[in-house]
Chain A
């Protein structure tokens, strides 16, 4: 079984977000980029576990990004994986990203494509499902458990108020979230091995951009906390009812 894991690079979770003066660009100076946690902790690690168990034969990584994305993809390779593919373009339109990955993956015969449930920068969570459509595969989103046997995947996914276990024949796209696997830390051997693993650069296909970011905005600052006497919870309840009108 050949698995493709989609990797996105995102600002570190502790990043203080700032924008250019015209509010059109996210300021990347001084920002540390990491592998999107959902892609790394759940999609990639689960793929590696499947390979270690002998279920998967190949685990390849793909990212859509310019050369600046290479340190992050090398970091992903340090965790494991056979080779990485970087599609040499950048876009914040998920349709463009999905189209680029689909164009590469189409002829490669992957049995399963894994991605994180969403990236923590633009929080769309849509590339996986778009990819499934473009590759004409089934899709299961928000999975927290994935097993594969005899060409069939058994996937547990989040539904409202609980979870559901589904089965689907391969090929399949799965988006992964918490519960799927335990996060790993790359060891020295992995880091050394990653330096010499193949990192192929693929040129992008022509595709129309369907959405664009017009501008960014910071949330309004809170006007200041109103402190309530811990002895007087009646006052808090009264404020929540009369002022905030939330109960």
Chain B
């Protein structure tokens, strides 16, 4: 009855959030007196998979069918359901990301398993199985009980620090009987924006609002993001005015992010914007209006004009980076 975890990969390479999910599953397994089994779908070199052991997986089940190289929610669900049955798994973990959100609910419905989407805590098993998640777009939290025998949890990335151990996992092949119907969604075109830090997984985010006055003033913001290795975001009016692309919009009706550092420049801090970003660990607000509501939600505030403050901040970051080398 191991704890199962979906380990997404790109040709055998894992992102940090996947290690985080494996570590999370291993923690739950330990709590339940069992071990964690990672499931890897699609072609990948077997030796790359054993490294998941360093994050707590005792075993890796590898379904190497090449048709799994891109997401097919039906096929992924079937593979995970097959693995869950083989392992007698009662708890199944995925990430609360694009893949996990497509697969975990399907799997939960198939297994008649209760699902918590976007967990930000380890399960409390003192009285059942209770997991914490953000609700009302980050304005509050709720504790959800899963009452079913089998449980599915998607973990919000960047919730826990990842610690590498020295274990190595046993890799086993798993055969799953797919049929053509499982691959009904065909990928026609993939368009990856080069050189950008994907917002959902950015640990640092630099964000601009209407106070930037126009898209022509984004240069310093981009430079700051580049110096920090940060993702770029913006407020809703900025996206609605087409100053910046829609995928950069964070807030209640845009993306919800939880980076370690969120630097908001020229954003007043409407309640809808705060909802999307108040899971950030540290918030810096730069605004020339000392009455901007965002200062109430900030850890550090700078009252000043972005056009003057930003170049100084960029210089300070460059100086800091030079001192670290």
Measured CB to CB, the residues of A under 8 A from B are 11, 13-17, 19, 37-38, 41, 93-95, 98, 120-130, 132-134, 138-142, 144, 154, 157-169, 178-179, 208-219, 222, 225-228, 230-231, 233-234, 236-241, 244, 246-247
Contact = CB atoms under 8 A, between A and B. Distances in A.
A210 B135 contact: no
A228 to B, nearest CB: 5
A241 B260 CA distance: 12
A237 B316 contact: yes
Interface string B200-214: 110110000000000
B193 A161 contact: yes
Nearest to A134: B109
Interface residues of B, number: 95
Interface of A is mostly: mixed
B175 interface: no
A214 B144 contact: yes
Contact of A213 (B142, B283, B295, B300): B142
A168 B317 CA distance: 47
Given A154-B188, A225-B285, A213 B143 contact: yes
Given A144-B246, A159-B190, A247-B204, A124 B118 contact: yes
Contacts of A121: 135-136
Interface of B: 73-74, 77, 97-98, 101-110, 112-118, 130, 132-148, 184-193, 196, 198, 200-201, 203-204, 228, 239, 246-247, 249, 252-254, 256, 260-261, 271-272, 275, 278, 281-285, 295-304, 308-309, 312-313, 315-317, 319-320
8 contacts: A95-B109, A122-B142, A123-B133, A126-B104, A166-B188, A233-B313, A233-B315, A246-B204
B261 A37 contact: no
Nearest to B320: A237
A160 B98 contact: yes
B178 to A, nearest CB: 14
Nearest to A234: B316
Contacts of B201: 160
B101 A126 contact: yes
A83 B189 CA distance: 36
Contact of B301 (A13, A125, A228): A228
